[in-house]
Amino acid sequence: MTAQLNPRGDVAVLVPAAGAGVRLGPGRPKALRLLAGEPLLVHAVRRLAAAPSVHTIVVAAPTAEVQAVRELLAPVAPVIVVPGGAERQASVAAALAAVPAGPTIVLVHDAARALTPPELVESVAAAVRGGRDAVIPVLPVVDTIKEVDAGEVVLGTVDRSALRAVQTPQGFRRSVLSAAHAAAGDSLTDDAGLVEKQGVAVSCVPGSEYAVKITRPFDLALAEHLLASAD
Ligand code: CTP
Ligand code: MG
């Protein structure tokens, strides 16, 4: 069976979806929790599959749910499903290993950012296609940020004009991400961090409010509201 979307696309998207969702509270793995009646992963994959540059989607699923995830996604889009790892980075590495020959751009996208619009996928991919080695979507930081000591006493105020909140999808020239994973040591929560360690320049593009990561129950409620008000 072929797991290809647009055969002329140049982008493979890796979707780490193997996390437990501890911060969301007790229940199924986060990617399988329901948002407006459908699992978060279904929302995420449907939006990725709607991005015209996407050739292949590889999902790293919770080990016990690989077959269930294959069946869940079969009607949504042709995807490759592999077992994820104990850490996010291991899940990304497992998905990267399953990318077929062809795509020259690899995006890494959290299943938990279920409402990310296809336009953001395209804008990250376009920046890599335009010659950047690594591209991340970012938003300005809106809150005042304080640095504190171990006793929660303020040490100082950080200049927020130079700070950015980072989202996914993060995009890479395929060879750059492969080299960074081959050399990877400590587990990081963000893939751009791996390539930064290799001395690769990472560029920013404007992110999207809809690419918020669903982490806590409040985020799920917010996402429900966003979906309802988008109709
Ligand atoms: N992820 C993964 N493999 C892991 C851990 C995380 O594929 N071993 C994925 C999650 O499924 C999620 C993304 O990485 O799509 C971002 O992680 P996070 O938001 O922290 O999700 P969880 O780890 O599931 O949540 P928590 O940390 O609250 O348990
Ligand atoms: Mg986590």
Whether residue 3 is contained in a domain is answered as: no
pTM tops 0.85: yes
| From 57, 110, 218, mutation site for ligand 1 pocket: most ligand atoms within 8 A of C-beta | 110
User: What is the distance in A from the centroid of ligand 1 to the CA of 5?
Assistant: 25
What's the mean per-residue pLDDT of the chain? Answer: 95
Tell me the per-residue pLDDT of 111-147, one tens digit each, with 9 for 90 and over.
Answer: 999 999 999 999 999 999 999 999 999 999 999 999 9
Q: Is the pLDDT of residue 14 over 80?
A: yes
How many domains does one find in the chain? Answer: 1
Whether residue 4 is contained in a domain is answered as: no
pLDDT (mean) for 52-68? 98
Task: Could you list the beta-strand ranges (E) of the chain.
Answer: 11-16, 34-35, 38-39, 54-61, 80-83, 105-108, 134-140, 145-148, 154-158, 164-166, 170-173, 202-206
Whether residue 6 is contained in a domain is answered as: no
CATH at 23: 3.90.550.10
Q: How confident is the model at residue 187 (pLDDT cuts 50, 70, 90)?
A: confident
Whether residue 22 is contained in a domain is answered as: yes
Whether residue 149 is contained in a domain is answered as: yes
Q: Is the pLDDT of residue 1 over 60?
A: no
Domain that includes residue 157, residue range: 11-230
Q: Is the pLDDT of residue 231 over 80?
A: no
